[in-house]
Amino acid sequence: MNNAICNRNIRILNIYTICINALMLLPILLPYYRDYLGLSFHEFLMIESVFAFMIVILDVPTGWLADNWGRKNTLILGAFTFALGIFMIAQASGFWTAALAEVILGAGTSLMNGANSAMLYDSLLLADRQSEYRKREGFRFALQLYSCAAASVVGGYLYTVSPTLPALLQVGIILGAAILGFWFIEPPRHKKTVEGHPVKDILRTIRYITHGHKEIAGLVLLMMLIFSTTKICMWSIQIYLKELGVAESWNGWTISALMLAGGLCGHLGHKIWPSLYGRHALYALGSLLTLSLIGAGVGISWLGLASLSIEAFVFGVGMPRAQEAINNLAESGMRATILSSASLATSLGFIPMSQLIGWMTDHYGIGSGLLAHAGLIATLGLFAYWLVERNAKHGYATAISTTTGT
């Protein structure tokens, strides 16, 4: 019986994942905001910053809700809320209505984040099959990318028919996911011993990495710089394509290709330069990302577009290695909280960094925006490098001193 419940929940969760990630708006959201709402690139990124801010402030409360109200109920509410946000985008009339839509989208995304993985793990635990979690979660992550890639192509073409058609079709698919959620069977929740409030855990983590573990603080700063930039690059590519005179129906194919490339790089990343790992991998990837921004910014060209697209490689190869670098340094009881804090830092970093490139792009063009961004991450990256290396050498010297008894 437990095994049947587990299999049922896994099947429903996989279909739910495909529906939620059928993001037809992804390749056309920028031109929609620009052409039909009259928003500049800077204003567009301001709205995206609202979405990022909502994720930051709601991730912990919605996780608590999923633990106490149930995974099933939270996933259903999340899908309905997400669908409402998409519908409001289709009905938006200007900056503030679009920002309100992104607030609702952020709330819906936060409700689903965590609850989906928890539903999978608790379902497997019910059938004593928790050893399958990594495989099942990896497959679910792949479904997200494949669904998003396919929907991007469809959305790009539907936009040429009607600017609101991709959003309305996406609303229908997401509502289907919400209704499908009623067929979940709520598994029993297996709670670990709570050591403290999540906010206290994060504050404790901040003290941990800033007092005696500044090497980790430097790695978190590097993660923020690198992975905030890869997200900004995804939106910048659409501006870049317009500057090249590419029809916006091709945006879907471009975003689809980037999604698939990022997934493939993540899947095969352990085979790409396996000797490069830890903090040195982040140094190399950060440098590569900076050079790619410079290459794209010095002149608008097809070669520049290829340079900017390196962000997919950096994201796919870099994320696992960044997490590995922190795992190797953090104490066992702190790892999960530190990684969560790094994820929050990435969302927070997106907000001011996106405003820089948005303002520069609106006033001086996408080339200048990319060059300014390259200068910013190079400067902060050098500071992070100094911070990490200084403390890494200090830790090594301390270990030698302890070993020799000097």
- Mark whether 147 and 205 lie in a shared domain: no
| DSSP H/E element including 344 | helix 335-364
Residues 370-395: what's their mean pLDDT? 82
Interval 145-154: pLDDT, tens: 788 888 988 9
d(CA 76, CA 112): 8
- 260 and 150: one domain? no
Comparing 129-143, 318-332, 362-376, 390-404, the range with the smallest average pLDDT is 390-404
The pLDDT value recorded for residue 124 is 85
Span 91-96, mean pLDDT? 92
Give me the domain span that covers residue 130.
Answer: 1-186
Report the number of distinct structural domains present in the chain: 2
Mean local confidence (pLDDT), 185-211: 60
Q: What is the pTM (predicted TM-score) of this model? A: 0.77
Q: What distance in Å separates the CA atoms of residue 127 and residue 3, rounded to the nearest whole number?
A: 5
- Claim to verify: residue 180 and residue 211 sit in the same structural domain: no
Q: Residue 320 is encoded by which pair of tokens?
A: 């696992």
For residue 387, give both structure tokens.
Answer: 């911070």
Lowest mean pLDDT of 63-67, 223-227, 321-325, 328-332, name the range.
Answer: 328-332
Residues 151, 294, single domain; the answer is: no
Residues 242 and 319 in one domain: yes
Best mean pLDDT range from 66-70, 175-179, 198-202: 175-179
Within 55-161, strands assigned E span none
pLDDT at residue 291, as a whole number: 94
Check: CB of residue 235 under 8 Å from CB of residue 117: no
Contact partners, residue 142, CB within 8 Å, separation at least 6: 263, 267
Q: At what angle do helices 71-91 and 95-112 cross, to 10 degrees?
A: 160
* Structural domain ending residue among the three candidates 159, 186, 213: 186
Question: Could you tell me if 4 and 125 lie in one domain?
Answer: yes
Question: Which of residues 136, 157, 186 is at a domain's end?
Answer: 186
**145 and 223 share a domain?**
no
Q: Give the span between the Cα atoms of 7 and 5, in whole angstroms.
A: 6
From residue 147, alpha-carbon distances to 14, 30, 177, 236, 249 in Å are 11, 20, 13, 22, 18
**Which residue type sits at 122?**
D
> Is the same domain home to 174 and 212?
no
Q: What share of the chain in percent tops pLDDT 70?
A: 79
319 and 258 together in one domain: yes
**Best-predicted range by mean pLDDT (72-86, 250-264, 265-279):** 72-86
Q: What are the pLDDT digits (tens) for 292-310?
A: 999 999 989 999 888 888 8
Q: Which residues of 229-239 are buried (b: 16+ CB within 10 A; e: fewer)?
A: bbbbbbbbbbb
Per-state percent for the chain, helix, strand, coil, to nearest 5:
85, 0, 15
Tell me, yes or no, whether 263 and 403 share the same domain.
Answer: yes
200: domain CATH number?
1.20.1250.20
Q: 131-140, 337-346, 395-404: which range is least confident on average? A: 395-404
- Shared-domain flag, residues 111 and 76: yes
Q: pLDDT band at residue 202, thresholds of 50, 70 and 90?
A: low
User: Of the residues 131, 152, 186, which one is the last residue of a structural domain?
Assistant: 186
My answer on whether 316 and 285 are in the same domain is yes
